[in-house]
Amino acid sequence: MTDPTVTGTITTDVISAVDAEHGWLIERGDSEGSRPLYWAGPGNWWTHDSLQAVRFARNVDAFRVAKQLTPPSNGVPHRVAEHVWSSK
């Protein structure tokens, strides 16, 4: 079963593993999808810069941490999304 809060997919035929790295990020539940806030570490620190965010190698690990974070005041759960960073 796919978790409905997971967003994004990686197309490996478009971006080769040599040219990119990928990981799972936690997006704050009350942030806009077009400009999400990413979890950047202890102390409930959030950033718009995905390069400063904590990256997880496995989505299961990101989900475990996301469930432990303080939920936003609007009650919307944090999202876990797969991201790709190109080295080019």
pLDDT above 70: percentage of residues in the chain: 78
Q: How confident is the model at residue 2 (pLDDT cuts 50, 70, 90)?
A: very low
Specify the higher pLDDT residue, 66 or 71.
66
Q: Which helix (H) or strand (E) holds 81?
A: strand 79-86
The distance in angstroms from the start CA to the end CA of the chain is 35
> Are the C-beta atoms of residues 6 and 81 closer than 8 Å to each other?
yes
pLDDT tens digits for 19-53? 788 999 999 999 888 899 999 998 789 999 999 99
Give the pLDDT band (50/70/90) at residue 75. confident
* Alpha-carbon span 9 to 47, nearest angstrom: 22
Q: By the 8 A CB rule, do 16 and 79 touch?
A: no
**Domain limits, the chain:** 6-86
Q: Are 82 and 9 in contact (CB under 8 A)?
A: yes
Average pLDDT for residues 4-8, to the nearest whole number? Answer: 52
